[in-house]
Amino acid sequence: MAKERRKALRPTWEGHLRLSLVTCPVALYTATERSADVHFNLINPKTHNRIHMQTVDAGTGKPVDRSELVRGFAVAKNKYVLLDKEELEAVKLESTRIIDIEHFVDAETIDRIYWDEPYYLAPAGKTGVEAFAVIRAAMKEQNRVALGRLVLHQRERMCALEPRDSGILLTTLRSHDEIRSSDAVFDRSLPKPDTGMLKIAEKIIEQQEAAFDPTEFRDRYEEALRDLIARKKKGERLVAAEPEQPEGKVVDLMAALRQSLEGGGAGRDRAERFLAAHRKSSRGSRKRTTRKRSKGRRRAA
């Protein structure tokens, strides 16, 4: 069953994994999916037809077929260096088809801001499976993360490889140039916290300590969107839910901390209550709409 599922997946990248003189064919698969997300199309409300985007020449205003287009790099205003597909294909690094392991590091030494997209790396075919297994087992035994490079989506990316299940988790890493300095944001020195307030805040953290469980996370906004779409599909007249009334501005920080310690500041519970109120308001609007329609029919009779 697992092999059938993997066969149904389409590799994002195929090539070889190399550790010194040891190589093996591998395939890269995306580790995340967004197929279940709510996706919208642009619609003309007058005709209910979808809108198709056209590629138009900015100078002549005439449509141009996408197959005729080439890529261009701006060197001055309205001046470009043009590159066709064959020229771009000629720029191939070794990392285009080979993930060459360069170093092994402790995962804790990689700042989390550099971690980017996760992928699954698996053997491609039966050839080289033993070499793949040896490389993976050695990394697991040494408890180290391998660093390498690969060309993905026309960019060479640094990547981190670590054992996961019976394969390898490959995570692309952002380059140093991609990371903005925090100086422009964290440009103020924070005041020294009051000792009493700090102790209460630490106790609140202890009270809310829990194990990370990603299955508990639900996209409540997407759930509300799906509910909205389902009700619109049934032809219901929708009434906006009453917005949550903001609590009064906190003036006494110590009082707010103490109240939170006593259980009065659970943000998640408050969010759940808001959603429940939203659903209740939606049901109420449906009942009001039904009553209005019944009265209208009685008057007509």
Q: What is the pLDDT of residues 14-70, one digit of tens each?
A: 999 999 889 999 999 999 987 667 888 888 889 989 988 889 998 898 999 988 898
Q: What is the pLDDT of residues 121-134, one digit of tens each?
A: 999 988 889 999 99
pLDDT single digits (tens) 145-191: 999 999 888 788 999 999 999 999 999 999 999 999 998 888 778 88
Looking at residue 263, the DSSP 8-state letter turns out to be I
**Which SS3 state, helix, strand or coil, does residue 98 take?**
strand
| Range among 46-55, 87-96, 181-190, 241-250 rated most confident | 46-55
At 272 the pLDDT is 52
The residue extents of the domains of the chain are 2-34+91-177, 195-206+216-300
Nearest one of 146, 147, 155, 148 to 93, comparing CA atoms = 155
Say which residue, 114 or 94, is predicted with more confidence. Answer: 114
Q: Would you state the pLDDT for residue 260? A: 83
Our CA angle for 219, 49, 40, nearest 5°, is 10
- CATH class (in words) of the domain with range 2-34+91-177: mainly beta
117-134 per-residue burial string, b: 16 or more CB within 10 A, e: under 16: bebbbbbbeeebeebbee
d(CA 136, CA 178): 30
Q: Rounded to an integer, what distance in angstroms lies between the CA atom of residue 141 and that of residue 75?
A: 51
Q: What token pair was written down for 236?
A: 């219901």
115 pLDDT more than 90: yes
* Phi, psi of 237, deg, nearest 5: -90, 120
Could you give phi then psi for residue 283, rounded to 5 degrees? -65, -40
pLDDT category at 301 given cuts 50, 70, 90 is very low
What is the rounded distance in angstroms from the CA atom of residue 229 to the CA atom of residue 234? Answer: 9
Q: Residue 274's pLDDT band (boundaries 50, 70, 90)?
A: very low
Q: How many residues are recorded in the chain? A: 301
